[in-house]
Amino acid sequence: MKRNLSPEPTLLGFLLAGPLHGYDLYKEVSAQLGTVWQLGQSQMYAILNDYATRGWIETRVQTQGLRPAKKVLALTPAGRKAFKAWLAQPAHGLREFRVDFFLRLYFARAAGSSQAGRLIDEQISASRRELESLEAFCAEADGDPQAFSNQVRRFRIAQLTTIIQWLEDNRAELAPVHKPKRANSHPAPTAKKRAGKGTHT
Where along the chain do its domains lie? Answer: 1-89+179-201, 113-178
1 vs 100, higher pLDDT = 100
Q: pLDDT tens digits, residue range 161-190?
A: 999 999 999 888 888 754 545 555 444 445
The type of residue at 34 is G
**Residue 200 or 129, more confident:** 129
- pLDDT above 80: residue 119: yes
Contact 30, 39 (CB under 8 A): yes
Q: Which of 98, 104, 99 is nearest to 119 (CA)?
A: 104
Q: List the CATH code of the domain at 1-89+179-201.
A: 1.10.10.10
pLDDT at 68: 80
DSSP one-letter code for 20 = B
In this predicted model, what pLDDT tens digit does every residue of 10-43 receive, in sequence order?
A: 999 999 999 999 999 999 999 999 999 999 999 9
How confident is the model over 62-98, as pLDDT tens digits?
Answer: 777 777 878 999 999 999 999 999 999 999 888 889 9
DSSP one-letter string for 138-193: HHH--S-TTSHHHHHHHHHHHHHHHHHHHHHHHHHHHS-SS----TTSSPPPPHHH
Check: CB of residue 193 under 8 Å from CB of residue 123: no
Q: What is the pLDDT of residue 1?
A: 45
Q: Which of 104-108, 119-123, 138-142, 184-188 is predicted least confidently?
A: 184-188
Helix (H, G, I), strand (E, B) or coil at 84: helix
- Phi/psi of residue 180, each to 5°? -70, 145
Q: What does the angle CA 119 – CA 121 – CA 125 come to, to the nearest 5 degrees?
A: 115
Band of pLDDT at residue 3, cut at 50, 70 and 90 = low
Q: What is the pTM of this model?
A: 0.77
**Nearest-CA neighbor of 48 among 37, 59, 36, 32?**
59
In this structure, the number of other CB atoms found within 10 A of the CB of residue 114 comes to: 11
Cβ-contact 18, 190 below 8 angstroms: yes
Question: Span 111-131, mean pLDDT?
Answer: 93
